Structures are given as C-alpha cells and as structure tokens.
C-alpha cells in the first residue's frame, strides 16, 4: 500500500497511457476510415452507397457512389445490391445516417456492410476525391 501512495503519479501516468493505447481498439467498429474504405473499394470491389438526399448528393459525393436516400433504403437496397454477401459501404455527410443505414442493411440480411466514419467530411479531410453530379 505504501508503494501505491508513494508512486501515485507514476501509476496515474501508466493508467493514462494504457487507456490511450486501448482507445483505438475500443473505438473500432464505429466505421471505416477513408484509407480502409479505399482498400475495400479497390480490392473487394465494394459498392459505395450515399444515403444523402439527392440535393446533397449533387453537391458532392465519393466517386462512383450510388445515391439511395435513407428513407428509401429498405425498399430499394436489394435492387441496387443483388448479392447480400458483397461488400457495401454506406456514406453520408457526417456519418450518422450512414451508421443507421448500415444497421438497417444488416437487418435486411446484408452481411458485409460498413459505414464511413465521419462521412464525406472525413473523406474530404483525408484529401480524397469527390465528384459532383
């Protein structure tokens, strides 16, 4: 006990550094980062679906993305992506709608659905290309 009291600062620093090391692991699953998304697009031929409204999509989107607004997802996703085991990446402006869209797609039976963490803003911040409709 004396050791803990005498070295409380060292113990605090050790715990803080351990928490900092664990943070990326614990925050994983919140979505893809732009670099991982590019790898999935290139290696796995992932289908990118932008769940923004058409006006937002027209202002800018990931190159090759298909527009399917979140409100139409349940009705039209199966028409857009035929194979439920193929890679699908959901994208929106900041990542909130795409995370909901990914959860909805999983409920519909799509096995490999992910969301771009931070959305189009994170994509642009990583200097990735955007096209306008």
Structural domain boundaries in the chain: 1-29, 34-131
Residues 6+ apart with CB under 8 A from 44: 86, 87
Q: Stretch 22-28: mean pLDDT, rounded?
A: 51
Cα separation, 21 vs 75, whole angstroms: 42
Of residues 133 and 74, more confidently modeled: 74
Comparing 67 with 11, the larger pLDDT belongs to 67
Q: Give the whole-angstrom CA distance, residue 32 versus residue 113.
A: 10
- Of the residues 37, 49, 62, 92, only one is catalytic, namely 92
pLDDT higher than 50, residue 27: no
pLDDT digits (tens, 9 = 90+) for 66-91: 999 999 999 999 999 999 999 999 99
Reported pTM: 0.76
- Average pLDDT along the chain: 90
Mean pLDDT of all residues in 85-106: 95
Of the candidate CATH numbers 3.40.50.2300, 3.40.50.300, 3.20.19.10, 3.40.250.10, the domain formed by 34-131 belongs to 3.40.250.10
pLDDT band at 22 (very low <50, low <70, confident <90, very high): low
Q: What is the pLDDT of residue 131?
A: 95
Determine the pLDDT at residue 23.
Answer: 56
Average pLDDT (21-50) is 81
State yes or no: is 52 an active-site residue: no
E strand or H helix at 131, and its extent?
Answer: strand 130-131
Q: Check whether 4 has a pLDDT greater than 90.
A: no
């Amino acid at each position: 006990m004396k050791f803990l009291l005498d070295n409380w600062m060292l113990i605090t620093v050790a715990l803080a550094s351990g928490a900092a090391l664990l943070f990326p692991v614990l925050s994983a699953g919140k979505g893809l980062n732009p670099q991982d998304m590019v790898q999935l697009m290139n290696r796995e031929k992932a289908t990118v679906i932008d769940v923004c409204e058409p006006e937002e999509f027209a202002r800018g989107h990931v190159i090759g993305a298909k527009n399917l607004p979140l409100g139409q997802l349940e009705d039209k996703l199966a028409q857009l992506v035929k194979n439920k085991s193929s890679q699908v990446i959901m994208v929106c402006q900041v990542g909130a709608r795409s995370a909901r869209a990914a959860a909805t797609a999983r409920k519909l039976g799509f096995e490999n659905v992910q969301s771009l963490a931070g959305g189009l803003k994170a994509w642009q911040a990583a200097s990735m290309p955007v096209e306008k409709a």
